[in-house]
């Protein structure tokens, strides 16, 4: 059974930072694409950052230069370092792993940025 356990969300002031973690079990993590999505109230879920098994990364334009996705395959964990946060970054953040036809989601962690 695949499980994704997210942590690190919370309340932070604008300009602050947070680091999200997503620990996976039950999946060949090192061969998976790891993604972070977010969903703000009243908005569609959007892809924030992706990291492929080979190490390449993609970012949404809105977070480039501020967010960094990384992974530790030995710990089956993917991270999202979020710097220079703004109120527009307020959302529920979801970890997502893709491996072939398998698609798994975490439960989400709330990030709230106050102005």
pLDDT digits (tens, 9 = 90+) for 69-103: 999 999 999 999 999 999 999 999 999 999 989 99
pLDDT digits (tens, 9 = 90+) for 47-73: 999 999 999 999 999 999 999 999 999
Both tokens of 5, joined, read: 């356990």
Query: End-to-end alpha-carbon separation of the chain, Å?
Result: 40
Say if CB 51 and CB 98 are below 8 A apart. Answer: no
Q: Lowest mean pLDDT of 1-10, 26-35, 47-56, 79-88, name the range.
A: 26-35
Distances from the Cα of 70 to the Cαs of 12, 52, 90, in angstroms? 21, 10, 21
């Amino acid at each position: 059974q695949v499980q994704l356990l997210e942590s690190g969300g919370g309340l932070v002031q604008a300009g602050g930072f947070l680091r999200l973690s997503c620990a996976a079990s039950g999946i060949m993590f090192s061969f998976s694409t790891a993604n972070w999505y977010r969903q703000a109230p009243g908005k569609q879920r959007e892809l924030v950052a992706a990291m492929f098994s080979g190490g390449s990364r993609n970012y949404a334009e809105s977070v480039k230069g501020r967010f960094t996705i990384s992974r530790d395959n030995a710990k089956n964990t993917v991270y999202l370092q979020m710097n220079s946060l703004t109120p527009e970054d307020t959302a529920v953040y979801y970890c997502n792993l893709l491996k072939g036809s398998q698609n798994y989601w975490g439960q989400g962690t709330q990030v709230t940025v106050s102005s």
